[in-house]
Amino acid sequence: MIRSTLDPRWREPDQPEPASPGNFERMGGGRDRFHVAIIMDGNGRWAQERGRPRAAGHVAGAAAVRRTVESAPELGITTLTLYAFSSDNWRRPQDEVGHLMRLFQKHLDSECVRLTDSGVRLSVIGRRDRIPGSLQRRIAHVEERTSEGISLHLRVAIDYSARDALLAAAGRFAEGVPATRQAFERYLSQAIHAPGDTGDVDLLIRTGGERRLSDFLLWESAYAELFFTDVMWPDFSEADLASAVQDFTARDRRYGGLPRGPNGATELSLFEQRAAP
Ligand code: FPP
């Protein structure tokens, strides 16, 4: 078979080996902490393209969640944050919202043992007070059952808004700050430049062809590498995740510093070495 460059398996002899489960450590991509966040977009369009109801896209999306969680540790991912339901998603039709809430609960029920057995620790981020009580209880149960897991920290964002999370976090430390939300927002926007804690995202992936952040992990993604793909979330495969990781490992993260030279030294330190007596 003649392999063309359009064949995703094809690579020139001097190209690096693609990331895949098993070779990630060998590629030097291994690190103590590797946080990948995913905006799972495209469920509805995936279903519409097949003449099926949007709910079918969400069900297929849940299968993609399972595949992704299973393959993440093998790619060196230590924290995986999935955007399952934004605070803006309450604006969707009631039957779609209801279906999603039931799907989250069903998935938690069916995955609890699997997550525990595979050492995955589950946390849910976002507001808890507006989701159904039965889902709240299920989340608390699975969080407790999986709390000892160390192979992967899986964080699922439900009723999540990064702006609300920032306001809530700052509010806990802001005694005596103006009482109205508007006044507090003004206060926070001035105070936000202080260094924050690190739950920092290394790689932020968005599927479904859109290129925006949609109020997701705004603080934590300050230095995230962004990866956008046209693949609809239900089609997102282990190979797609491996490609995103591969792309990430090839990037030069400078955090506003200078490019790295040989042996990991920055150009400035090489210059300084040469200038030294
Ligand atoms: C965005 O696609 C997806 C969602 C709003 C829901 C995400 C939910 C899942 C992947 C299902 C299960 C999740 C878990 C954690 C078990 P969209 O509906 O906005 O797609 P569209 O842009 O094509 O309309």
Contact 266, 259 (CB under 8 A): yes
**Residue whose CA lies nearest to ligand 1 atom number 15:** 84
> Does the Cβ of 126 fall within 6 Å of ligand 1?
no
pLDDT at 19: 52
Asked if the model's pLDDT at residue 73 lies above 80, the reply is yes
Q: In sequence order, what are the residues at sequence separation of 6 or more whose Cβ sits closer than 8 angstroms to the Cβ of residue 246?
A: 16, 18, 19, 27
> Does the Cβ of 92 fall within 6 Å of ligand 1?
no
Comparison of pLDDT for 50 and 197, the residue scoring more: 50
Q: Separation of 40 CA from ligand 1 center, angstroms?
A: 6
The whole-angstrom separation of Cα 72 and Cα 62 is: 15
Look at the domain 30-162+201-252 and name its fold: Undecaprenyl pyrophosphate synthetase (3.40.1180)
Asked if the model's pLDDT at residue 79 lies above 70, the reply is yes
| Angstrom distances, CA of residue 30 to CA of 212, 239, 246, 264 | 28, 18, 11, 16
pLDDT (tens digit per residue) in 18-46: 455 445 443 334 568 999 999 999 999 99
> Does the Cβ of 44 fall within 6 Å of ligand 1?
yes
Asked if the model's pLDDT at residue 3 lies above 90, the reply is no
> Does the Cβ of 65 fall within 6 Å of ligand 1?
yes
DSSP assignment letter at 53: -
Q: Separation of 72 CA from ligand 1 center, angstroms?
A: 19
Asked if the model's pLDDT at residue 5 lies above 60, the reply is no
Segments making up each domain of the chain, as ranges:
30-162+201-252
- Ligand 1: residue of 49, 52, 58, 91 to mutate (most ligand atoms within 8 A of CB) is 58
pLDDT (tens digit per residue) in 169-204: 677 666 666 667 777 766 665 555 444 344 789 999
Q: Separation of 92 CA from ligand 1 center, angstroms?
A: 12
Comparison of pLDDT for 87 and 22, the residue scoring more: 87
> Does the Cβ of 83 fall within 6 Å of ligand 1?
no
